[in-house]
A and B are shown apart, each in its own frame.
Chain A
Amino acid sequence: MTGTRRQLGYVVLLAPLPAFLAGVYLLPFLGVVEWSFTLPEPGVSQYLRVFSDPIVLGVLWRTLRVCCIVTALTAVLAYAISYVWVCGSKTQATIVEFGVLVPFWISTLTRAFGWLALLYNQGIVNSTLRSLGIIDFPLMLVRNEFGVIVGMTHFLIPFAVLPLVSSMRHLDHRVLMAARGMGASRLRTFWSVFVPMTAPGIIGAVLITFIFSLGFFITPAILGGGRSVLIAEFVYVQTFQTVNWGLTGAISVVLVVAAALLIALFLRVARYNRLVG
């Protein structure tokens, strides 16, 4: 076998997947971009609408607000359990691992349904609180922004745990023992040594969570009940109910640009970590 023929063999292996994606993913995306500039008439009117229409701006603003709240909650909760996963005893670690992996493997729909069963007016939370006499009228826990935040945080915790656990594993635990040995309290060791040393993992987890939350669709659609519409559900409505494909295209392009900027930021942080660590 000559060198050129071998090279050809390698290319035959390499090429199909990128070629497939170029045909069924990249090319159609360009079609969506074309929508954004040509429907209903040629020009940038749909982009102007994205940034001036009060309805679209309202949805964008709500998406940003919900994503920020969800990211902050997810980061804190994921940090706490990652800490116990890495530093806790074997039993504690197994319990946390189970708690993270089981929801991770269960579908978005099942999880959203579980929250619906817990939080709706006659749901488990409300009926328990009522039978205990704590409340007289059911609390509105779902089909609003609260429900969306709960469901999204629940979905995203496993994704934030993974980078956090990996950064905590790489930390030299002798440093922690040294801090304790020198007389630092447990709390002080945690705040002054552990947290700063895992900062890169925190930044990674925050960025991943935020990027993921931006395009969230199913969970907000079910737990928001059409009242707390986020940008992804808004795209669905524009595509199938309002049938305004120009606006669909423009929002898609804006979302891709936003995600690309965040990922560029993420890669910079990752490279910085590699240089420092």
Chain B
Amino acid sequence: MAIYRPGPIALLLTALIVLFLLAPLIAVVPTSFTPSNYLSLPRGELSLRHYRTLLEAPQWSDSILLSLWIGMVASLAATTLATMFGLGIWFLRPRLTALLVGFVLLPMIVPPVVSAVTLYFLLTSLSQVSAAIGYDTWPGVVIAHVVMIAPFAVIMILVSLAQVDRSMDMAARGMGASLPQRIFSVVLPNIRFGVLTAAFLTFVLSWEEIAVTLFITSVKAVTLPRLLWTGLRDNVDPAVAAMSVVLIVVTVGVLVAVNLFRARRSAPTG
């Protein structure tokens, strides 16, 4: 492997592709400092007015708080359901495992627009039962998000469970541990990293979910992506650029921090 290296053509091509991948993220930055109130590049003077809008206009802070709330509730619910499901599969090893796992992964595989139509049908039907949980309400969005993000949590949990040594659980069972003891004292501590990753991933997925959210919300439950969509669709609002820069900076910051943390954790063992 040390001898077989990519040649100059491959490296040049890769440099161009990486540039292609990062270009739209970089392009957002100058646009966000424009002094005008339409999508444009700043000529000469730079302005922070669109960042001020983010702080001052209530619709931005309202939608950020709503998205945080929905993300936390949906991630907690999805991770809990997925962890229980994974444990059930792991303990019971039912003959229908493939079928059951395939079924719970469906929302990830079905084209998102079909899921969106399906959840639109669900929530408009629920609206007729109670206005509090149906179309254009935050509990409705939570239900829909749990459906969409649970499959990702299931995959994370199943992958971590596959690495757990069954003999530990058998030993605990042989010594008379109850099912809750086996779950909380034996299995869960061994998959805690997988559970945390699942919780984080599902939060991010809910935080930025838009395809389904667009179908099931209108004017009351305006999540951050929904607000960004409105600012992008009609005449482009440069505040969208400012918000995008904030999101990119946070994402890159978290990625760098995670990598540094991983590097430091793995450093002593080599």
Contacts and interface: CB of A to CB of B under 8 A. Distances in A.
Interface of A: 1, 6-7, 9-18, 20-21, 24-25, 27-29, 31-32, 35, 77, 80-81, 83-84, 87-89, 92, 95-96, 98-103, 105-118, 120, 122-124, 127, 154, 157, 173, 176-177, 180, 186-187, 189, 211, 214-215, 217-218, 221-222, 231-232, 235-236, 239, 248-249, 252, 255-256, 259, 263
Interface of B: 1, 3-7, 10-11, 13-14, 17-18, 20-28, 30-31, 39-41, 81-82, 84-85, 87-89, 91-92, 94, 100, 103-104, 106-107, 109-122, 125, 143, 146-147, 150, 154, 178-179, 204, 208, 210-211, 214-215, 225, 228-229, 232-233, 236, 240-241, 244, 247-248, 251-252, 254-255
> Which DSSP category, helix, strand, loop or mixed, fits chain A's interface?
helix
B4 A176 contact: yes
A20 B8 CA distance: 53
A17 B3 contact: no
A28 B118 contact: yes
Given A9-B179, A116-B232, A92 B11 contact: yes
A100 B21 contact: yes
Contacts of A111: 24-25
Given A17-B154, A103-B21, A105-B204, A239 B103 contact: no
Contacts of B109: 211, 259, 263
14 contacts: A29-B114, A87-B6, A88-B5, A99-B17, A99-B22, A110-B248, A113-B228, A114-B24, A116-B39, A123-B41, A211-B109, A232-B211, A236-B113, A255-B111
B157 to A, nearest CB: 11
A48 B179 CA distance: 55
A92 B12 CA distance: 11
A199 to B, nearest CB: 18
| Chain A to chain B: the 4 pairs with minimum beta-carbon distance, closest first | A215-B111, A114-B24, A14-B88, A107-B208
B2 to A, nearest CB: 9
A189 B7 CA distance: 11
Contacts of A255: 111, 113-114
B210 A218 contact: yes
Given A114-B27, A177-B3, A102 B111 contact: no
Contacts of B240: 113
A123 B30 CA distance: 11
Contacts of B255: 98, 101-102, 105
